[in-house]
Chain A
């Protein structure tokens, strides 16, 4: 017994080194699986606060571009308000109201919550964005996030006032997307090289894909509403070994200048997930 203690004492520094290595690697491993690290709630609050102070300064330099993006979005949205469309018979006007429940029994499925981006990175291999909205404002993990121009990512961890979003520019990010004109569905992934380009995998070569085709979020992705812009096709080579396209997508969102984002809540998310988690009983 005494020899064991002597042995440990002699190599104490080496054992401490091994212990710290094991701790850091295990933190990394668990984080990649669950996105919940040691003290992640407390550290989100602190780093979020520091990032906000930094962003207060940075925000001024981007005011012009941010304003432009928001104005463009406003005009796009105004163009699709039904009041602006004139029916051939002008005695009738169609109206859509924004009640949670309308008289026809339709339910509002997606809620949008605006949020300020306080921290953002583009040059890591796994990029995360911090937003100034948290559990107190009704943010949950797995909520989808889009910007004024297109999709941004998915919420992975929440503290009281901040939330961390895994952006599309992340090796663990997978978003279901489809081609607008042919409805072929694939998965959007990022290879870590260029922050403006993502990949769309799983489109068979029977689909006809031209350069500049629009890619939108698909109806299969639970957290994203269908039809949010992802980007446009900027490279369409066919991989001869698999028979699938190697599609390069130019992302609509400019991650360098992102200042505002919308958190999207799917009000039926829990219901859908509960049903899907139930084992299917075969008669």
Chain B
């Protein structure tokens, strides 16, 4: 399956899963909200150009917004993590591996620790920015801190489950392998 087709399918699946499964779960607790849709951006290929990455993230976030009812709320954090992603990948990846032999970020292509750090940082940034926008409209400081912390923890668990359930074969790029 080509990378483009695979990512288009992921685009649709992540939005539908977030809008019709995770958002339908009755809240156990005010600050605990399952969010996983942004994993789409973290799974995009290494070799995507930076302007394209930003635009894809913007369109993806806006689509998510139209399904959840507040346009703009998810688009802003998506664009932010898409902007930060190349910097973090540059720091975490050894030069010779970066973008040369593997197609996309995964445990196999980056190694367990760099990949977890990558996921952790971007999940935290995404949630912090998302809740910050909500907090600026209403709410108090306790709301901000607790919601960022608890939702980040819950998202990390969800991402771990996703990684275990949907084992991605770390594909080599054909011309270099």
* A74-B83 Cα distance, complex, nearest whole Å: 56
* A16-B55 Cα distance, complex, nearest whole Å: 9
The answer to whether A43 has its CB under 8 Å from any CB of chain B is yes
Evaluate contact between A31 and B72: CB separation under 8 angstroms.
yes
Residue from the list B20, B75, B76, B83 in contact with A13, Cβ < 8 A: B83
The answer to whether A113 has its CB under 8 Å from any CB of chain B is no
Known: A13-B50, A17-B79, A54-B20. Is A126-B26 also a contact (CB below 8 A)? no
The answer to whether A245 has its CB under 8 Å from any CB of chain B is no
Interface residues of A in 20-73 (CB under 8 A from B): 20-21, 23-29, 31-32, 37-38, 40, 43, 46-47, 50, 54
Q: Contact flags (1/0) for B1-45 with A, using CB distance below 8 Å? A: 000000000000000100010011111001001000000000000
The answer to whether A127 has its CB under 8 Å from any CB of chain B is yes
Task: Kindly provide the distance from the CB of B21 to the nearest chain A CB, expressed in whole angstroms.
Answer: 10
The answer to whether B111 has its CB under 8 Å from any CB of chain A is no
Number of interface residues of A (CB under 8 A): 39
Q: Contact flags (1/0) for A5-26 with B, using CB distance below 8 Å? A: 0000000111011001101111
Residue from the list A21, A28, A47, A127 in contact with B79, Cβ < 8 A: A21
* A47-B18 Cα distance, complex, nearest whole Å: 14
Q: Which residues of A contact B67 (CB under 8 A)?
A: 47, 50
Evaluate contact between B30 and A27: CB separation under 8 angstroms.
no
Q: Which residues of B contact A54 (CB under 8 A)?
A: 20
Task: Kindly provide the distance from the CB of B66 to the nearest chain A CB, expressed in whole angstroms.
Answer: 4
Task: Kindly provide the distance from the CB of A268 to the nearest chain B CB, expressed in whole angstroms.
Answer: 30
Q: Which residues of A contact B76 (CB under 8 A)?
A: 21, 24-25, 28
* A82-B69 Cα distance, complex, nearest whole Å: 43
Evaluate contact between B58 and A24: CB separation under 8 angstroms.
yes
Evaluate contact between B137 and A127: CB separation under 8 angstroms.
no
The answer to whether B138 has its CB under 8 Å from any CB of chain A is yes
Evaluate contact between B134 and A125: CB separation under 8 angstroms.
yes
Q: Which residues of B contact A16 (CB under 8 A)?
A: 51, 54-55
* A17-B53 Cα distance, complex, nearest whole Å: 10
The answer to whether A193 has its CB under 8 Å from any CB of chain B is yes
Evaluate contact between B26 and A43: CB separation under 8 angstroms.
no
Known: A17-B54, A20-B79. Is A38-B138 also a contact (CB below 8 A)? no
Residue from the list A17, A46, A47 in contact with B83, Cβ < 8 A: A17
Interface residues of A in 135-177 (CB under 8 A from B): 164, 171
Q: Which residues of B contact A24 (CB under 8 A)?
A: 58, 61-62, 72, 75-76, 79
Nearest neighbor of A38 in chain B, beta-carbon distance: B71
Task: Kindly provide the distance from the CB of A254 to the nearest chain B CB, expressed in whole angstroms.
Answer: 11
Q: Which residues of B contact A31 (CB under 8 A)?
A: 70-72
The answer to whether A123 has its CB under 8 Å from any CB of chain B is yes
* A126-B20 Cα distance, complex, nearest whole Å: 17
Residue from the list B30, B62, B73, B75 in contact with A193, Cβ < 8 A: B30
Nearest neighbor of B16 in chain A, beta-carbon distance: A50
Evaluate contact between A256 and B26: CB separation under 8 angstroms.
yes
Evaluate contact between B58 and A192: CB separation under 8 angstroms.
no
Q: Which residues of A contact B69 (CB under 8 A)?
A: 121, 124, 126-128, 164
Evaluate contact between B51 and A13: CB separation under 8 angstroms.
yes
* A14-B54 Cα distance, complex, nearest whole Å: 10
Task: Kindly provide the distance from the CB of A234 to the nearest chain B CB, expressed in whole angstroms.
Answer: 17
Residue from the list A12, A28, A32, A123 in contact with B23, Cβ < 8 A: A123
* A47-B16 Cα distance, complex, nearest whole Å: 11
Residue from the list B27, B51, B73 in contact with A12, Cβ < 8 A: B51
Known: A16-B54, A20-B54, A193-B30. Is A47-B72 also a contact (CB below 8 A)? no
The answer to whether A180 has its CB under 8 Å from any CB of chain B is no
4 closest pairs, A vs B, by CB?
A28-B72, A27-B72, A24-B75, A128-B69
- On A, residues with C-beta under 8 Å from B are 12-14, 16-17, 20-21, 23-29, 31-32, 37-38, 40, 43, 46-47, 50, 54, 121-128, 164, 171, 192-195, 256
A-B contact pairs, 15 of them (CB 8 A): A13-B83, A14-B83, A16-B54, A17-B83, A24-B72, A25-B76, A25-B133, A28-B70, A37-B71, A37-B72, A121-B68, A123-B33, A124-B70, A128-B69, A195-B27
